[in-house]
Amino acid sequence: MARDSRYDVLFEPVKIGPVTARNRFYQAPHCNGMGRTFPSSMAAMRGVKAEGGWAVVSTEQIDIHPSSDFTPATECRLWSDRDIPYLARMCDAVHEHGALASAELVHNGKWAGNLYSREVPLFPSHMPVPTHNFPLQARAMNKADIRAYRRWHLDAVKRAKKAGFDIICCYAAHNLSLAGMFMLPRYNFRSDEYGGSLENRVRLFREIIEDTKEAVGDTMGVVVRFAVDELRGADGIEAHKEGREIIEMLAELPDLWDVNVAEWHNDSMTSRFADEGYQEHFIEFVKQVTTKPVVAVGRYTTPDRMVSLVNRGVVDMIGAARPSIADPFLPKKIEEGRIEDIRECIGCNICVAWDNMIAPMRCTQNPTKSEEWRRGWHPERIAPRAVDGMLLVVGAGPAGLEAALAAGRRGHDVILADAAAELGGRVTRESRLPGLAAWARVRDYRTYQISQMANVEVYKSSLLDADQILEFGAAHVAIATGARWRRDGYGRQHQFPIAGTDGDNLLTPDDIMAGTSPRGSVLVYDDDHYYMGSVIAEQLVADGCQVTLVTPDARVASWTDYSLEQHRIQTRLLELGVDIVTSHELQEITDDSAAVSCVYSGKSRLLAVSSVVMVTSRLPDDSLYQELAATPDRLRAAGIETFKPIGDCHGPATIAAAVYEGHRFARELGEPVDEIPFRREITELAPGFELP
Ligand code: ADP
Ligand code: SF4
């Protein structure tokens, strides 16, 4: 299909100093939980993005010295020449597909707890290390430290060049970089030429950029990544004050400005709290104060929006981390006029969460993410089917939809049946809850793709029973019938049913999503700790209820720390007037009250509530699977060779896990699968081993 000419502007080359980006698509640096620990997985993940058309493919943070040791995080590292080979592997993978490789060099200052290196952390002034909330302090750097820091950065620049990078990114964003920390009055209490006036506070960053330009500026592009606003008002950098002044001071120094907002939880806001393009009004001034090209992120997935940004002179390149994770082929699809094929990021931050849990990142939309090398899964290619026979997928939630799509792409004839009148399962239900509308993209991408395939037939409003499944004539059957929220309160806190959960005033999120609307005072009991308790509370407030949220944890939705949402969620609930009771467990429910007790003291109190919504854990909806699995003879007689549960029916988890399970089912259908179904990279032992 030919590309619409209005998108042509996105495919113009952009000069970044001495190197040229082939188009305007810039994969901004992003963590991925692989880095130096799973280096080949990291390299292949980046290479696939280059293949997908990104002109610049950046690393995650590369820490440059043992005094910036971010252990246990698994970022990249460039402390010595021994760190070069795995980064060279990434550069090779990126170059193989004609993109430029960019290295983001970082010293984490006070954030680096140096748990492995045991160096004393470094900072502009004395300061407690916030990373682990334990009694460790960073010390104020003296002049010799500053000289050393400049040398470490320069050494890392030279090593990055040796590794094959085309671009160096000098970093002062997210409040994660030492040079950036020097700029902030709340951190910098120095009286020398590196403290006091703005010019002094910016001096170190300027020196880092100048050192880099001088060393490699004739052969490598030098990018400056800078957060123009910290979203903390006068306590921090503001775009219309020092943010602008800093850019004015350094305006022509870099070859490209990569601008955003700090900290990471502001830069990577979820779709629950921010729409596409939410950073635009913070960064729109930048092009007025520099002649150098500008790149910015904002979870851009819509090509028209991208064109508008360029045509209005807001940016020269479209930055993307999450959209490039959800669809590494986003640029290629625009280039080839295949807009409908874009797998749009839903802004859920599962990718971020897995990195924060120090595990290879997962993506709700892209099940191949982090599986590129270890399983050989390509986001756009899949092997032709290895076995014959029709596939029946029962249930069209995220697991069933993805299984049907991926198996269809392998060339299977597929029938996808769902009891509901609408496809999408939990995604359809949950996307109607406050703030989760973008999650429907998980359904919409897949239903559109399936609608284009002649070999996948969809049956809505088709509740199947065991006999019907046996009569279908399918050789392969995937049961993707999902899960239901428990009513009895069983969860992390309670391993016995809570008293009173058999009453009529006990509801679950499934009831609320099905349209049940309680009246009066409602208690939401959240022992799930992810999003559901808080979105149900929001929904109930919108329905006119007085809501009390009780959780055994010390904070609401504590797991959402990982997805960078916790603070916003608790703030929103408080703003909505939700009464929040933390560190309390639910003991008993009666018709008009609920007894809750402190998890520390055991002291109980009675809350006057007319209903309780139980958000604790889920049970698989697997009766159909269990019934048929119990009679293998019947399956055999019906000609069914493959019979598997997938998704929430197999093990209730995230939507990302359901999509992955559906994809895995299709990939493995008819294939030999080893007990360890992926390649592993095992650290090479050091030569020589002596006891001290
Ligand atoms: P997952 O997250 O694993 O994909 P969901 O709960 O989102 O699971 O989706 C399960 C889907 O399965 C729902 O849309 C539901 O209507 C459907 N379903 C459940 N039981 C049956 C059945 N017996 N026949 C057909 N569809 C079913
Ligand atoms: Fe987007 Fe969610 Fe995928 Fe991250 S995990 S890239 S936020 S869809």
627: in domain: yes
* Three-class SS state of 109: helix
Q: Is the backbone peptide bond immediately before 72 cis, with ω within 30 degrees of 0?
A: yes
How far apart (Å, rounded) are the C-alpha atoms in residues 178 and 172? 8
Helix segments in 65-142, DSSP class H: 84-95
Q: Tokens at residue 230, please?
A: 């910290």
Q: Per-residue confidence at 586, pLDDT binned at 50, 70, 90?
A: very high
What pLDDT was estimated at residue 545?
A: 98
Same domain? 41 vs 97 = yes
* % of the chain with per-residue pLDDT over 70: 100
Residues 640-650: tens digit of each pLDDT: 999 999 999 99
643 C-alpha to center of ligand 1: Å? 16
Instruction: Judge whether 31 counts as a catalytic residue.
Output: yes
Phi, psi (degrees; rounded to nearest 5) at 563: -90, 10
Neighbours of 70 (CB within 10 A): 21
Active site residue 174: yes
Q: Which atom of ligand 2 is nearest to the CA of 321?
A: 6
Q: Is the dihedral of CA 74, 78, 83, 88 positive or negative?
A: positive
The mean per-residue pLDDT over the stretch 64-86 comes to 96
Strand partners, 225: 171, 258
3-state secondary structure of 676: coil
Report, as an integer, the average pLDDT of 182-187. Answer: 97
> For residue 468, is it within any domain?
yes
Backbone angles phi, psi at 552, to 5 degrees: -70, -15
Q: Is 64 helix (H, G, I), strand (E, B) or coil?
A: coil
Is the same domain home to 396 and 263?
Answer: no
Q: What is the pLDDT of residue 468?
A: 98
How much is the pLDDT for 199?
A: 98
CATH of the domain at 439: 3.40.50.720
**What pLDDT is recorded for position 683?**
81
- Specify if 679 maps to a domain: no
Entry field: residues in the chain = 692
Nearest CA to ligand 1 atom 14: 425
Would you say the CB of residue 349 lies under 6 angstroms from ligand 2?
yes
Domain endpoint, select from 306, 338, 356: 356
Residue 364 in any domain: the answer is: no
Question: What's the pLDDT tens digit per position in 342-376?
Answer: 999 999 999 999 999 999 999 999 999 999 999 99
CA 342 to ligand 2 centroid distance, Å: 13
Same domain? 32 vs 71: yes
State in Å: Cα 326 to ligand 2 middle: 6
Ligand number, closest to the Cα atom of 349 = 2
Q: Are residues 229 and 117 in the same domain?
A: yes
369 Cα nearest atom in ligand 2: 3
Q: What is the pLDDT of residue 133?
A: 80
Gap between the Cα atoms of 392 and 620, Å rounded: 19
For residue 529, being part of any structural domain is answered with: yes
Distance CA 415, CA 269 (A): 38
| Catalytic site residue from 149, 171, 187, 660 | 171
Same domain for 449 and 489? no
Relative orientation angle of helices 655-668 and 398-409, to the nearest 10 degrees: 30
The burial of 577, by beta-carbon neighbours within 10 Å (0-12 exposed, 13-18 middle, 19 or more buried), is given as exposed
Q: 541 in helix, strand or coil?
A: helix
Task: Say if ligand 1 is within 6 A of residue 314 CB.
Answer: no
Q: What is the pLDDT of residues 7-23, one digit of tens each?
A: 999 999 999 999 999 99
Angstrom CA distances, 32 to 45, 428, 448, 451, stand at 9, 28, 29, 33
Q: Is 134 a residue whose pLDDT tops 90? A: no
User: What percent of the chain shows pLDDT beyond 90?
Assistant: 98
Q: Whose CA is nearest to atom 8 of ligand 2?
A: 345
The alpha carbon dihedral of 194, 197, 201, 207 has a sign of negative
Q: Residue 132 — pLDDT band, cuts 50, 70, 90?
A: confident
Residues 563 and 628 in one domain: no
| Ligand 1 atom nearest to 624, measured from its CA | 23
Residue 508 is part of which domain span? 485-619
**What pLDDT, in 10s, does the model give residues 489-503?**
999 999 999 999 999
For ligand 2, whether the C-beta of 363 sits within 6 Å is: yes
Q: Is the peptide bond before 263 cis (omega within 30 degrees of 0)?
A: yes
* Residue 635 identity (one-letter amino acid): L
The answer, yes or no, to whether the previous bond of 12 is cis (omega within 30 of 0) is no
How much is the mean pLDDT over the chain? 97
For the Cβ of 330 lying below 6 angstroms from any atom of ligand 2, the answer is no
Residue where a domain stops, chosen among 597, 619, 641: 619
Instruction: Indicate whether 370 belongs to any domain.
Output: no
Residue of 330, 351, 439 with the most ligand 2 atoms within 8 Å of its CB, for mutation: 351
Residues 42 and 108 in one domain: yes
Instruction: Identify any residues that bridge with 298 across adjacent strands, giving them in sequence order.
Output: none
CA of 640 to the centre of ligand 1 (A): 20
Amino acid letter, 554: A
- Ligand 1 neighbour 574 (Cβ under 6 A): no
Residues 543-575 have pLDDT tens digits of 999 999 999 999 999 999 999 999 999 999 999
The yes-or-no verdict on residue 525 having pLDDT over 80 is: yes
Q: Are 212 and 10 a contacting pair, CB within 8 Å? A: no
Is residue 301 located within the same domain as residue 220? yes
Q: Which atom of ligand 1 is nearest to the CA of 427?
A: 7
pLDDT-based confidence at 163, cuts 50/70/90? very high
The model's pTM is 0.98
pLDDT tens-digit readout, 381-437: 999 999 999 999 999 999 999 999 999 999 999 999 999 999 999 999 999 999 999
Which two three-digit tokens encode residue 496? Answer: 């016995």
One domain for residues 151 and 175: yes
Q: Which ligand is nearest to the CA of 650?
A: 1
Q: Is the pLDDT of residue 1 over 80?
A: no
Phi-psi region of 482 (alpha: psi -120 to 50; beta: other; left: phi over 0): left
Measured on CA atoms in the order 323, 326, 331, 335, is the torsion positive or negative?
negative
Total domains present in the chain: 3
For residue 366, is it within any domain?
A: no
Same domain, 512 and 630: no
Q: At 581, which CATH number?
A: 3.50.50.60
The count of other CB atoms within 10 Å of the CB of residue 452 is: 10
DSSP state of 192: S
Residue 166 has pLDDT above 90, yes or no: yes
What is the amino acid identity at position 340?
A: E
Q: How confident is the model at residue 473, as a pLDDT? A: 95
- Whether residue 342 has its Cβ less than 6 Å from ligand 1: no
Asked if residue 595 belongs to a domain, the reply is: yes
Q: Which atom of ligand 2 is found nearest the CA of 325? A: 6
Question: Does ligand 2 have an atom closer than 6 angstroms to the CB of 347?
Answer: yes
In terms of domains, do 207 and 351 share one? yes
pLDDT digits (tens, 9 = 90+) for 672-686: 999 999 999 988 888
For the chain, what percentages of helix, strand and coil (3-state, to nearest 5) are there?
A: 35, 20, 45
pLDDT in tens, 212-271: 999 999 999 999 999 999 999 999 999 999 999 999 999 999 999 999 999 999 999 999
- Does residue 214 share a domain with residue 120? yes
- 456: which 2 tokens? 């996948």
Ligand closest in space to the Cα of 465: 1
